[in-house]
Amino acid sequence: MPNFSTADPIAAIYRFCAQSMHYPEAAWFTDDYLKKLDGLLDALGGEEERAALPGACPGGRDWLEDLQVEYTRLFINGVPHTAAPPYGSVYLDKTLRGRYSDEILAFYRSLGYSFHKDGDLPDHIVYQLEFLSFLAEDGNRTGEEEFLRRFFLPWFGMFADRVKGQAHHPFYRIIVTIIDFFTKEEEEHGVQRNEA
Partner 1 sequence: MAFNVTRRKFLQTASLAAVALPLSEVIASESGITRSPLEPPGSLTDETVSGGICEMCFWRCQLVGKKRGDRLVKLEGNPKSIDNGTAICARGNAGIQFLYDPDRLKFPLKNVGERGKPVWKKIGWTEALDECGKRLAEIEKKYGPQGIAVFPHGSTAKYPMHFFERTVGTHNVSEASFFQCRGIRDTAYMATIGRAPGEFVDMPNAKVIFLLGSHIGENIHVSHVKQFIQGLQNGAKLVVVDPRYSASAAKSDIWVKIKPGTDTAFLLAIMNYLVTTKKYNAEFIEEYAEGFDKFKEGIKEWSLEKAAKECDIPAAQIKEVAELLAANAPNVSVHPGRHVSWYGNDFQRQRSLACLTALLGAFYVKGGWVPGKNPKIGKTSWVKKEHEGGHNLNENEDGDLKHPFTPPGTPTELIRDAALTGKPYPIKGCVIWGQNPIQTIPDQDKMKKVLQQMDFVLCVDVMPTDATMWADILLPEVSYLERYDLVKAGTQWDFAQKHQQYIAARMPLVAPMFERKDQVFITNEIAKRMGYDKDIPVKTIEELVDKDLEVAGLSLDKLKKEDGIHLMDGKDPYTMPEDFEIILYNEELEDAGFPGVPTYIPVEQPPAGYARLLYGRVPVHTFNRTQNNIWLKNAMPDNPIWLNDELAAKMGLKDGDMVGLVNQVGFKSRTTTTVKTTPGIRKDAIFMAHGYGTANPLMTVAVNAGIDDTSLMTKATVDPETGAHGMRNTFVKFVKDGKVIDIPAAV
Site for partner 1 in 47-86 (CB under 8 A): 47-49, 65, 68-69, 71-73, 76-82, 85
- Please select the residue that binds partner 1; options are 55, 60, 61, 94, rule is CB under 8 A: 94
| Residues 155-174, interacting with partner 1 (CB under 8 A) | 164, 173-174
Contact between 5 and partner 1 (CB under 8 A)?
A: yes
| Stretch binding partner 1 (CB under 8 A), from 53-61, 139-147, 148-156, 181-189 | 181-189
First-residue to last-residue Cα distance in the chain: 33
| Residue 57 C-beta: closest distance to partner 1, Å | 14
* Alpha-carbon distance values, 142 to 156, 190, 191 (Å): 20, 9, 9
Q: Which helix (H) or strand (E) holds 46?
A: none
| Residue 26 C-beta: closest distance to partner 1, Å | 12
| Residues 111-140, interacting with partner 1 (CB under 8 A) | 111-122, 124, 126-127, 130-131, 134, 138
The residues, ordered by sequence, that sit 6+ positions from 19 with a Cβ below 8 Å of its Cβ are 28, 33
* Planar angle of CA 137, 102, 76, nearest 5 degrees: 85
The residues, ordered by sequence, that sit 6+ positions from 110 with a Cβ below 8 Å of its Cβ are none
- As a whole number of angstroms, the longest Cα–Cα distance in the chain is 50
| Residue 142 C-beta: closest distance to partner 1, Å | 15
| Residue 87 C-beta: closest distance to partner 1, Å | 7
